[in-house]
């Protein structure tokens, strides 16, 4: 009896070992900021098996590119003025202004959307990228932002080609509001050292607790000024 039970256990163990393993992709939604401003895509960036992927159409349209999709070749062509980018589903190679760039992972389709690896932003778009694993937050900085859809209300965006985006909002304190206008104008006109001095002066008069919106704006634009100065 014991011998029969042992034989059955061996047979069952053999079936278990022979059963093919199915790899399940672990996905997690990710938040994203561009130049300190939260951005919303129809489909959020995703962490798939430990790799960060960004929705290609959402990212490129946010940066001002016109998108063309060829269903037959599964290829995206993005054009902005004299700049062009080509991505093909299943390929690690992307073409940016005629130059081929190899990514760490192929362009892929997930949830009926096309995703590209986060290193595309660094290698293909010359963006600076930071990743906060605890907050699941991807932050990128670009010098070529034309238009961004942001969350929240009461915010106004000022952006132009080849300059870093900055946020403007109306402060409750009239004096601070005038200082913000002056600092933002200096930043827009590329008077970076003077803008930094103005923002520092504003920070001496507000706090993150009493003036969270103004404080956030000043810190974001101050960071932009320092980045452009570097």
Q: Following DSSP, what letter does each residue of 3-68 receive, concatenated? A: HHHHHHHHHHHHHHHHSPPPPPPPEEE-EEEETTEEB--SS--EEETTEEEEEHHHHHHHTT-EEE
pLDDT at 215 over 90: no
pLDDT at 7 over 70: no
Q: So what's the pLDDT on residue 5?
A: 57
Burial of 213 by CB count in 10 Å (0-12 exposed, 13-18 middle, 19+ buried)?
middle
Judged by average pLDDT, the poorest of 61-65, 152-156, 200-204 is: 152-156
pLDDT tens digits, 142-195: 765 544 444 343 434 434 333 344 444 444 577 888 888 898 888 888 888 998
Residue 89's DSSP bridge partners are 107
Q: So what's the pLDDT on residue 81?
A: 84
Instruction: Phi first, then psi: give them for residue 4, nearest 5 degrees.
Output: -65, -40
Q: Give the model's confidence band at 73: pLDDT under 50 very low, under 70 low, under 90 confident, else very high.
A: very high
Q: So what's the pLDDT on residue 141?
A: 82
Helix (H, G, I), strand (E, B) or coil at 226: helix
CA diameter of the chain: 92
Instruction: State the CB neighbour count (10 A cutoff) for residue 101.
Output: 15
Q: Which helix (H) or strand (E) holds 123?
A: helix 119-123
Q: Residue 74: which region, alpha, beta or left (left: phi > 0; alpha: psi -120 to 50)? A: left
pLDDT at 82 over 80: yes
For the record, the structure tokens of 91 come out as: 């390929």
pLDDT at 78 over 90: yes
Q: Give the model's confidence band at 1: pLDDT under 50 very low, under 70 low, under 90 confident, else very high.
A: low
pLDDT tens digits, 84-136: 999 999 999 999 999 999 999 999 998 889 999 999 999 999 888 888 888 88
Percent of the chain scored above 70 by pLDDT? Answer: 74
Residue among 150, 41, 146, 148 nearest 83 (CA): 146
Q: Is 36 within 8 Å of 222 (Cβ atoms)?
A: no
Mean pLDDT score across all residues of the chain = 77
């Amino acid at each position: 009896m014991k011998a029969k039970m042992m034989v059955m256990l061996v047979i069952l163990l053999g079936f278990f070992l022979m059963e093919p393993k199915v790899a399940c992709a672990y996905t997690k939604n990710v938040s994203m900021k561009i130049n300190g401003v939260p951005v919303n895509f129809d489909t959020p960036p995703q962490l798939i098996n430990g790799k960060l992927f960004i929705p290609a159409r959402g990212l490129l349209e946010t940066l001002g590119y016109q998108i063309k999709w060829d269903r037959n070749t599964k290829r995206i062509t993005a054009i902005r003025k004299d700049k062009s980018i080509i991505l093909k589903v299943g390929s690690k190679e992307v073409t940016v202004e005629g130059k081929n760039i190899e990514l760490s992972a192929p362009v892929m389709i997930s949830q009926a959307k096309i995703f590209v690896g986060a290193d595309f932003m660094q290698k293909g778009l010359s963006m600076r990228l930071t990743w906060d694993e605890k907050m699941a937050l991807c932050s990128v900085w670009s010098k070529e932002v034309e238009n961004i859809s942001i969350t929240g209300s009461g915010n106004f965006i000022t952006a132009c080609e080849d300059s870093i985006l900055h946020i403007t909002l109306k402060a409750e304190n009239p004096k601070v509001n005038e200082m913000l206008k002056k600092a933002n104008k200096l930043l827009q006109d590329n008077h970076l050292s003077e803008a930094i001095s103005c923002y520092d002066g504003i920070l001496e008069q507000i706090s993150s607790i009493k003036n969270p919106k103004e404080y956030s704006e000043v810190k974001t634009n101050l960071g932009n000024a320092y980045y452009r100065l570097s």
